[in-house]
Structure 1
Amino acid sequence: MSNVLIIESSARQQDSISRQLTQQFIGQWQAAHPADRITLRDVARNPVPHLDANLLGGWMKPAEQRNDDEQVSLDRSNELTDELLAADVLVMAAPMYNFSIPSTLKAWLDHVLRAGVTFKYTTTGPQGLLTGKRAIVLTARGGIHAGATSDHQEPYLRQVMAFIGIHDVTFIHAEGVNLGAGFQEKGVNQAKALLAQVA
């Protein structure tokens, strides 16, 4: 049995293409792997705070020196990080906002990229600690960005995943979804066809 962690980040609750892809993924994955456990965290509906002084204090101060706000921030980060550590497969559903990822997804990443927990510094540089995991990224993009200099989404997430030791990363892009009905249908159908192969 594997643990699958899904992170939703679309600000749209209705008519969200990345959420449509997530639902297809869940249905196909459950059909193929009925014993697997799926955990869904929606950082748009339940956003985590952005990185702030309380979180930094929670990470860096000894327990006896933390104030209540710092402890609450640390407990939240621990919960999010524990979910990631327990996952065998990480799925991130990310619409492209302003050429990159939603700030809610960035905030989640800021909570789980933790020195000594998901990566460590060594004399030869940083080393990821989450080896053996797999990541799948489902994106929805208004324009056509794959392979273009305007894509600050895939390169960033690939680097972040590699930084914590996840090198098996699959991207599935629904491209051109705001370019008109024909483009949207084509982009979504191509993404769904690729998604069927992944699950």
Structure 2
Amino acid sequence: MIILHVDSSITAENSVTRSIGEAAIARLRTLHPDAEVRRRDLASDPLGHVTLGDLGDASIAEEFLSADVIVVGAPMYNFSIPSNLKAWMDRLAIAGITFRYSDKGAEGLAGGRKLIIASARGGFYGSDTRQAWLDHQETYLRGFFEFLGVTDIAFVRAEGIAMGPDARAKALEDAKTQAAAIAA
């Protein structure tokens, strides 16, 4: 089994998503002790915005497709995802490799793998909140990866991390509990 761990948080050791992602990796290693973990840190080794010259390069998509499980650390920045994560995702969506168009419309070609999103949000943006309409993070991630054919998606979420130290600690503890319950 190959596990790809992608981090995008710029906050280094203070990152909630990095902490949650590591908890998810620890759980997966417990379930699959022989798994190989590959890492891509988009903060320390950014890709840059996609250019026309990048369109023929499938190396990022091939790295993604070689993994059985992908753990993505995706903090909410300004109601969406970090631009470095978007740059990585832009390199995943390649017609003929991760999706195709047919007479029935778009069809994802990247199914058969599990995706775990380590999500962190300063406030509360769940579907049961007044701020749900501002969630352009998790809704975007789900829509994008489902477009590629990935339907086995789990969110491990820490919400309210900017609501004070106690709320942050509780949110992180709850997310690590969620990570410890991952089934793969």
TM-score scaled by structure 2? 0.93
Q: For residues 113 and 63 of structure 2, what CA distance do their matches in structure 1 show?
A: 13
**Contact kept in structure 1, 2:75 and 2:81, CA below 8 Å:** yes
Q: In structure 1, what is the equivalent of residue 23 of structure 2?
A: 24
| Bigger share in helix | 1
Matched, 1:35 2:38: no
Q: Rg larger in 1 or in 2?
A: 1
**Contact kept in structure 1, 2:76 and 2:121, CA below 8 Å:** yes
Decide which of 80, 88, 95 is 1:100's aligned counterpart: 80
Q: In structure 1, what is the equivalent of residue 53 of structure 2?
A: 54
Q: For residues 155 and 92 of structure 2, what CA distance do their matches in structure 1 show?
A: 20
Q: In structure 1, what is the equivalent of residue 174 of structure 2?
A: 190
Q: For residues 53 and 24 of structure 1, what CA distance do their matches in structure 2 show?
A: 37
Matched, 1:136 2:135: no
Q: In structure 1, what is the equivalent of residue 5 of structure 2?
A: 6
Which residue identity is paired with 1:133? R
1:27-176 to structure 2, matched below 5 A, reads: 27-56=26-55, 59=56, 74=57, 78-147=58-127, 148-176=132-160
Which residue identity is paired with 2:92? V
Worse overlay, 47-56 or 144-153 = 47-56
**Contact kept in structure 1, 2:115 and 2:152, CA below 8 Å:** yes
Query: Residue by residue, what CA displacement relative to the aligned partner does 1:49-81 show, whole Å, maximum 9, x if unpaired?
Result: 21123224xx3xxxxxxxxxxxxxx2xxx2211
Instruction: Give the paired residue count.
Output: 179
Q: Aligned-residue CA RMSD in angstroms?
A: 1.1
Q: For residues 128 and 83 of structure 1, what CA distance do their matches in structure 2 show?
A: 17
Which residue identity is paired with 1:100? S
Partner-residue secondary structure (3-state), 1:149 = helix
Q: For residues 25 and 78 of structure 2, what CA distance do their matches in structure 1 show?
A: 27
